[in-house]
A and B are shown apart, each in its own frame.
Chain A
Amino acid sequence: MSGSSSSSVAGRDIVALEGVTKRFPGIVANDSVDLSIRPGEVHVLLGENGAGKSTLIGMLSGLQQPDEGRILVDGKPTPITSPRHALALGIGTVFQHMMLVPTLTVAENLLLGGPWWQRPRSEELETRVAEITSSLGITVKLHAKVSELSLGEQQQVEILRAMVRNSRLLILDESTSMLTPKGIEELGALMRRLVEQGLAIVFITHKLKEAAAFGDRISVLKLGRKVGEIPPERFRALGEQEIISEIVELMFGKQKDDPEAAQRPTRTIRADAVPLLQVADLSVAPTENAPGLSSISFDIRPGEILGIAGIDGNGQKQLAEALAGQRAATRGSVRLEGTAIDALSVGERRKRGLRYLTDDRLGEGTVGTFPVSINFFLKQVGAAPFWRSGVEQRAEIDRHAAELVREYDVRTPSLKTPVARLSGGNIQKVLLARELAEGAKVVIFNKPTYGLDLANTLASRQRIRDTAARGLAVLLISTDLEELLVMCDRVAVIANGAVVGTVENTDDARTRIGRLMIGLAA
């Protein structure tokens, strides 16, 4: 590998993206992203979950094709048609989850993918591996089984595999997420040695510290768009703290194209009103792939919107599910209008007026293959007037559904259309109609505008404001700080499953919330 490209750091782009856009049903995953990847640089891609990092990697590694824009390899427009093609172009990817066969040895894993009609060339491999490892200063046990290696060692094997295949560009997707602090440090040193040999590295992470410590150039993605870049010259000029604060500004700072950015809610909530929802000391045990909650407490009064801010995956979904009754709490209490509802089931909580609008619209919010009309009443199956003695009243359902379609402006070809056929914005309207139906007292909105276009975002926000104006208590979970600032009366910041601070939405709320989100005191 070492000799194949010169170590001229100022070289041309190995790979460049020009205005790349990728859409999925209902959301725009990447919105005209430009990116230049150069030899001798660690290019950090930074962004929250759902910012579009994985989609970008998918397109670079040949798993997905862009809808618009083009990818240039060595300056020539080249569609990357398959993972095999990507490898042939010298683009090697180390995915977030290990892609090694645990029951085979390291050497066998490295030999996988060779032509099937040839005997594996193990001697050749050994000399090649020795060459690479000695130049990088790592040791790899070729004859150990992969299952016996630590995660850090497995990752080295994956990087080695990319090197054996003559990669010029190495993509590391969330590679530090499963490593120990020491392993992370070693990976950083290894990346440094690799770029010194003239390799280009794309390093994906959502951890600010790593970005500042390991990067040469940083691109920040937010909701599918590239919102900023710190080029190497600037990067070198700034200290670590300055870089982090600049990234925070990029990630959470004002967005120019949000038309509501300047507004702030002007509601007055009677401070002496009895809270509709009281949560005290709520705790949930962590599971394998989700953080727990530790002793969360807050109150929401009638007409109030309480925001939950935080980087995605810090327990927001667990909080919503615990309140809705979908997840068992280990401790604490939830009171609705002063009555404890801890022992009640999901259905009973809903009946009492606690509504949960999920962020996973197709995964759990709706049954995609069922018609729009039924999805309006998914949480009322069996209830009058839509069912009488258990028998479906088709006319009644259709009449009410038609009313809701009109009232909430759902754009659907017909009531019979499977709900999965609708756009994300219209599915969201179906959910809004369902959760805001009569009897609602407290509504939990989980990322209600995620993936929606501007018109639908504004419409959804207006619904939420109207909800509060009707005197309901609203819990608004969002990863979009802008949204929280234009909607909420107070914002609680969640990190690692705990509320780290609650901020009144005043003039300096933005900076205070931003600081809380990255672990600094407000």
Chain B
Amino acid sequence: MSIDSAPTASATALDATSGAATRRDILHRLLMTLGPILAALVIAGFILLAVGVDPLAYYGYVLEKGLFSPLGIQQTLTRMAPLLFLAAGLIVAFRAGMWNLGGDGQFLLGAVTAAASAPMLVEILPAWPALICSFLIAMVVAMIWSLVPALLRAYQGVNEIITTLMMTFLGTSLANVLVKLVFRDPATTVPQTRTLPVEDRLPRLFDTTVTSGLLLGLAAIVIVHLVMTRTAFGLKLRIVGANPRAAVHAGLGVPGLTIAVFAISAGLAGLAGAVDIIGVQGNVRADWNPAYGLAVIPAVFLARMNGFAAIGFVFLLSVLSIGGESAARRLGVPNHFTLVLVSIVLIVLALAEYIDHRYNQSRKA
């Protein structure tokens, strides 16, 4: 799962044969991505057989509910909205070589502040400005939450994997405390925030139940992709990610860029929380934690930090999670079997990458 392996494969291009080489390259990449996924489906199938479930029935239900039923596909697309924001945030961080694994804490804090602010703001402001303010508040809160790991990494060199993971536990707990103690809706008995009326939420697309947050998510990830690949700012972040010493040598302000990366990544995670609340949920119940942040990481890896590929993989992840829930219910498989499936995909993918690398090495030698 090495990041730097991505560009090396695309480098075989020679001037004369570059067209053919690029095509071969894309083919190779497709094979290296889809092959392991198919292999993982087969392996997971054997596990299902071992626990006495018909794998074909399981996959059938997943596809039927997640992809082919009208209601299911609408749920799948709705689920994509927050996942796309999270994926966009991860792409920024991973490309800059920073492992923001605190997405869940940032997501929940964004969700809680959006849930707390939106119902109040719609009472005093017109609908759109109110929702925009609420989005901004969620974003800023998540950004502030990322400041501790960002400053520690930028000025003290403290490993951000550890700090962001620790901050995510704190963030999840803080979000719960806020729901139970500060933003609790006095009108209900269950601890939850005030509910945003359905008519004030983000509009649905056409006559479906699909939230328009999906479009915001798509826009976010496409913008992030373009910024990372086409702009000077994105290039600076990629230099920091690919070779931090070269960044210093080239005169880039690495600490400042580090803080910017964390702020953008966390801000997008906060927006993910807000879009899920303002678009779909309407409120936050205590102890609610969908753990999207960690679930998205494999999808971003499979896409190799490419925004467009990430859209595809996030879609696949949504199908799996919506369809998996239903298939699990119908066949008596634990609900978390989707996680097993995703982890098998990752392990097989890592193995495939390793074998491919060894093969290339031996061919060169």
A residues lining the B interface (CB < 8 Å):
324-326, 345-350, 356, 358, 360, 363-370, 374, 378-379, 381-382, 387, 390-392, 413-414, 416-418, 421
A392 touches B232 (CB 8 A): yes
- Chain A residues lying within 8 Å of B232, measured Cβ to Cβ, are 381-382, 387, 390-392
A414 touches B8 (CB 8 A): no
Interface residue ranges of B236-263 to A (CB < 8 Å): 236, 238-239, 242-243, 245-246, 248-253
- Chain B residues lying within 8 Å of A360, measured Cβ to Cβ, are 245
B48 within 8 A of A: no
Partner of B235, one of A365, A374, A413: A374
A418, B4: Cα distance in complex, Å: 11
Partner of B8, one of A324, A413, A418: A418
A346, B249: Cα distance in complex, Å: 7
Query: From B230, which residue of chain A is reached at the shortest CB distance?
Result: A392
B235 touches A381 (CB 8 A): yes
Partner of B252, one of A347, A358, A365, A416: A347
B207 within 8 A of A: no
Distance (Å) between the CB of B251 and the closest chain A CB?
3
Query: From B5, which residue of chain A is reached at the shortest CB distance?
Result: A369
A369 touches B242 (CB 8 A): yes
A391 touches B249 (CB 8 A): no
B233 touches A370 (CB 8 A): no
Partner of B245, one of A350, A364, A391: A364
* A416 in contact with B13 given A346-B248, A367-B246, A370-B7 (CB within 8 Å): yes
Kindly supply a per-residue 1/0 record for chain B positions 7-20, scoring 1 wherever the CB is within 8 Å of any chain A CB and 0 otherwise.
Answer: 11001011100100
B231 within 8 A of A: yes
B249 touches A365 (CB 8 A): yes
A413 touches B15 (CB 8 A): yes
**Most chain A CB inside 10 Å of its own CB: which residue of B232, B239, B242, B251:** B251
* A379 in contact with B8 given A390-B232, A392-B230, A416-B13 (CB within 8 Å): no
Can you give 14 contacting A-B residue pairs, CB < 8 Å? A345-B253, A358-B249, A363-B246, A364-B243, A364-B246, A368-B242, A379-B251, A382-B232, A391-B230, A416-B11, A416-B13, A418-B8, A418-B11, A421-B11
- Chain A residues lying within 8 Å of B7, measured Cβ to Cβ, are 369-370, 418
- Chain B residues lying within 8 Å of A379, measured Cβ to Cβ, are 250-251
B residues lining the A interface (CB < 8 Å):
4, 7-8, 11, 13-15, 18, 230-233, 235-236, 238-239, 242-243, 245-246, 248-253
* A347 in contact with B246 given A367-B239, A381-B235 (CB within 8 Å): no
Partner of A381, one of B11, B15, B239, B242: B239
- Chain B residues lying within 8 Å of A421, measured Cβ to Cβ, are 11
A391, B14: Cα distance in complex, Å: 27
A348, B238: Cα distance in complex, Å: 21
A381, B231: Cα distance in complex, Å: 9
Closest 6 interchain pairs by CB? A347-B251, A346-B251, A382-B232, A364-B245, A364-B249, A369-B7
A381 touches B253 (CB 8 A): no
A267, B154: Cα distance in complex, Å: 47
Query: From A326, which residue of chain B is reached at the shortest CB distance?
Result: B248
- Chain B residues lying within 8 Å of A346, measured Cβ to Cβ, are 248-251
B252 touches A381 (CB 8 A): yes
Distance (Å) between the CB of B257 and the closest chain A CB?
11
Distance (Å) between the CB of A398 and the closest chain B CB?
12
- Chain A residues lying within 8 Å of B233, measured Cβ to Cβ, are 382, 390
* A382 in contact with B236 given A345-B251, A369-B7 (CB within 8 Å): yes
Distance (Å) between the CB of A334 and the closest chain B CB?
16
Distance (Å) between the CB of B189 and the closest chain A CB?
53
Distance (Å) between the CB of B238 and the closest chain A CB?
8
Distance (Å) between the CB of A237 and the closest chain B CB?
48
A363, B243: Cα distance in complex, Å: 8
Majority secondary structure, B binding face:
helix
A387, B235: Cα distance in complex, Å: 11
- Chain A residues lying within 8 Å of B253, measured Cβ to Cβ, are 345
- Chain A residues lying within 8 Å of B15, measured Cβ to Cβ, are 413-414
Contacts A369-B4, A379-B250 known; 8 new A-B pairs at CB < 8 A? A325-B251, A346-B250, A348-B251, A349-B251, A370-B239, A387-B232, A391-B232, A416-B13
- Chain A residues lying within 8 Å of B231, measured Cβ to Cβ, are 387, 390-392
Distance (Å) between the CB of B13 and the closest chain A CB?
6
**Most chain A CB inside 10 Å of its own CB: which residue of B13, B235, B236, B250:** B250
Partner of B246, one of A349, A350, A366: A366
B8 touches A381 (CB 8 A): no
- Chain A residues lying within 8 Å of B235, measured Cβ to Cβ, are 374, 381, 392
A359, B134: Cα distance in complex, Å: 52
- Chain B residues lying within 8 Å of A391, measured Cβ to Cβ, are 230-232
- Chain A residues lying within 8 Å of B243, measured Cβ to Cβ, are 363-364, 366-368
- Chain A residues lying within 8 Å of B236, measured Cβ to Cβ, are 381-382
A369, B238: Cα distance in complex, Å: 11
Distance (Å) between the CB of A281 and the closest chain B CB?
25
- Chain B residues lying within 8 Å of A345, measured Cβ to Cβ, are 251, 253
Distance (Å) between the CB of B84 and the closest chain A CB?
23
Distance (Å) between the CB of A366 and the closest chain B CB?
6
Query: From A421, which residue of chain B is reached at the shortest CB distance?
Result: B11
B249 touches A350 (CB 8 A): no
B14 touches A365 (CB 8 A): no
- Chain B residues lying within 8 Å of A350, measured Cβ to Cβ, are 251
A365, B239: Cα distance in complex, Å: 12
Query: From B227, which residue of chain A is reached at the shortest CB distance?
Result: A390
Distance (Å) between the CB of A329 and the closest chain B CB?
16
- Chain B residues lying within 8 Å of A413, measured Cβ to Cβ, are 13-15
**Most chain B CB inside 10 Å of its own CB: which residue of A367, A382, A391:** A367
A414, B252: Cα distance in complex, Å: 27
- Chain B residues lying within 8 Å of A358, measured Cβ to Cβ, are 249
Distance (Å) between the CB of A434 and the closest chain B CB?
10
A348, B252: Cα distance in complex, Å: 10
- Chain A residues lying within 8 Å of B13, measured Cβ to Cβ, are 413-414, 416-417
- Chain B residues lying within 8 Å of A418, measured Cβ to Cβ, are 7-8, 11
Query: From B243, which residue of chain A is reached at the shortest CB distance?
Result: A367
- Chain B residues lying within 8 Å of A414, measured Cβ to Cβ, are 13-15, 18
Distance (Å) between the CB of B250 and the closest chain A CB?
5
A365, B242: Cα distance in complex, Å: 12
- Chain B residues lying within 8 Å of A365, measured Cβ to Cβ, are 246, 249
Partner of B242, one of A363, A370, A382: A370
A349, B11: Cα distance in complex, Å: 34
Distance (Å) between the CB of A58 and the closest chain B CB?
17
- Chain A residues lying within 8 Å of B242, measured Cβ to Cβ, are 367-370
Distance (Å) between the CB of B179 and the closest chain A CB?
40
Distance (Å) between the CB of B321 and the closest chain A CB?
33
Distance (Å) between the CB of A66 and the closest chain B CB?
15
Partner of A417, one of B11, B245, B248, B250: B11
Query: From B234, which residue of chain A is reached at the shortest CB distance?
Result: A392
- Chain B residues lying within 8 Å of A356, measured Cβ to Cβ, are 249
A62, B246: Cα distance in complex, Å: 33
A381 touches B250 (CB 8 A): yes
Distance (Å) between the CB of B2 and the closest chain A CB?
11
A320, B61: Cα distance in complex, Å: 65
A374, B246: Cα distance in complex, Å: 13
